[in-house]
Amino acid sequence: MARHIRKDDQVIVTAGAHKGEQGKVMSVLTKKDAVIVAGVNIHVKNLKKTPANPDGGQVKKEFPIHWSNVSPAVTVGGKVVPTRVRMETKADGTKVRIAVKTGEQIGQPIRSAKAKA
C-alpha cells in the first residue's frame, strides 16, 4: 500500500500536542509508521559522557510522530490547509498522489510508467 506522506513533503500536524504546526518531512520510519518533521515535536536528549564527547550534554532533537497525525499541506486561497490524498493512475501507467482539496499532484510520481517492449 502506498503511503500518503513521503520525504520532503510539506505537512501540517492534525492531532496531538503539536496540532497546527507545519514543517517539512525529514524522514519516514516505515517500521514504526512514523515521520520526523523538521521543527516539530522537539525534545531534549541527554548525552552520556564518551571519549568523543567528554562533557556529555543535551541536544534538542526532533522525535517521530505517527503518520496518521500529519497531513500534506496545500495552499487554498492564500491559506495553507491540510488535505487528504487520493492515489491515481494516469493513462501512461504512472501512479501519482493527488490532493483532494485542490486536485493538484503532490510531489513526484510514486511509480513511473512501465516500459512496453
Closest residue by Cα to residue 106 from 57, 71, 66, 56: 71
Closest residue by Cα to residue 36 from 57, 13, 4, 3: 13
All three cell numbers of 92, joined, read 501512461
Q: Residue 27 belongs to a domain with what CATH number?
A: 2.30.30.30
The answer as to whether 63 is a domain residue is yes
The answer as to whether 2 is a domain residue is no
Rounded distance between C-alpha atoms, residue 86 and residue 77, angstroms: 21
SS3 track for 62-83: ECCEEHHHEEEEEEECCEEEEC
For the segment 1-41, what is each residue's pLDDT rounded down to a tens digit? Answer: 468 899 999 999 999 999 999 999 999 999 999 999 999 99
Is the model's pLDDT at 60 over the cut of 90? yes
Domain total of the chain = 1
The answer as to whether 88 is a domain residue is no
Using the 8-state DSSP alphabet, how is residue 30 labeled? T
Q: Which domain holds residue 21?
A: 10-82
Rounded distance between C-alpha atoms, residue 100 and residue 71, angstroms: 11
Predicted TM-score (pTM) above 0.85: no
Given pLDDT bands bounded at 50, 70 and 90, which one contains residue 115? low
